[in-house]
Amino acid sequence: MKERPTFPARLDFSISPSQTGRNPQPVARNALSLAAKPLVRVSPHSLAMDSSALRRNMAQKLAAQGVSDRQVLSAMGTIERHRFVDSALINQAYEDTSLPIGLNQTISKPGVVARMAELLRNGAPGRLGRVLEIGTGCGYQAAVLSLLANEVYSIERLRGLHDRARENLRHLTIGNLHLLFGDGMLGFEKGAPYAGIIAAAGGESVPQAWIDQLAVGGRLVAPVSRGASNGGKQALVVIDKTPQGLRQTVLEAVHFVPLKSGVA
């Protein structure tokens, strides 16, 4: 396994739209320090909401739905989801529903986030190694993943959402989470190989760049379109990269925003 890149402690990385080659270089932007610490209510967006009981109840419901991974349930019960939604929707933050976050994007249902995180972990006894998230969105799933992996790289193609995620996560200090602005279909080769790759958008196929950047022994979890004959409906797909090759498992139907290339 090649040596991972070293990152300054307080640096936010962006991929320039012009850097579409195989070795995109990080560009220093505004400093952003993110590291697992108790959450501090400093933002007016939090509305001083005490969500501890709501988070416990949400985690209990996820367990009743079949989520059994204790680390996933702990992470879901720790991250305050109401910090990542609009104030007008704050009362729905802990319901098992997707909510709009702007730019025709949504924050995934807690049940979907937990399900995909559990699939990604695949029963690992401890934290995963390096993980790549395709589609930062509002930053909620990235925050959850930061509690489940040693290092998380999360890439977003929409500048507005990238900036929003940075703002949503500013009240935390999570040193193992790196936010990037760039084309998620290219992945992020500088951080590869990854123990896990998770996508929050679905295309007709899994980009080859993701497969190339997945470590042998690693796992990829993503929604994939089942084709025009199925009305473009998506299914959750798990790809395991073994020494003998790729092993693909198609699971339940899901609905995610479409996977797109480029930045905007």
- DSSP-derived letter for residue 34 is -
Tokens of 140: 């909620």
- Between CA 196 and CA 215 the distance in angstroms is 8
Q: Is the peptide bond before 193 cis (omega within 30 degrees of 0)?
A: yes
- Between CA 230 and CA 81 the distance in angstroms is 33
* The total number of residues written for the chain in this structure: 264
Q: Does the annotation count 98 as an active-site position?
A: no
Neighbours of 114 (CB within 10 A): 26
Q: Is 68 exposed, middle or buried (0-12, 13-18, 19+ CB in 10 A)?
A: exposed
Q: Which of 94, 100, 91, 183 shows the shortest CA–CA distance to 134? A: 183
- Choice among 108, 146, 154, 225 that is catalytic: 108
Do residues 147 and 74 touch, judged by C-beta distance below 8 A? yes
CA 23 to chain centre: 22
Q: Which of 237, 234, 205 shows the shortest CA–CA distance to 221? A: 237
User: What angle is formed at CA 198 by the lines to CA 262 and CA 12, rounded to 5 degrees?
Assistant: 60
- DSSP-derived letter for residue 40 is -
Q: Which residues are catalytic?
A: 108
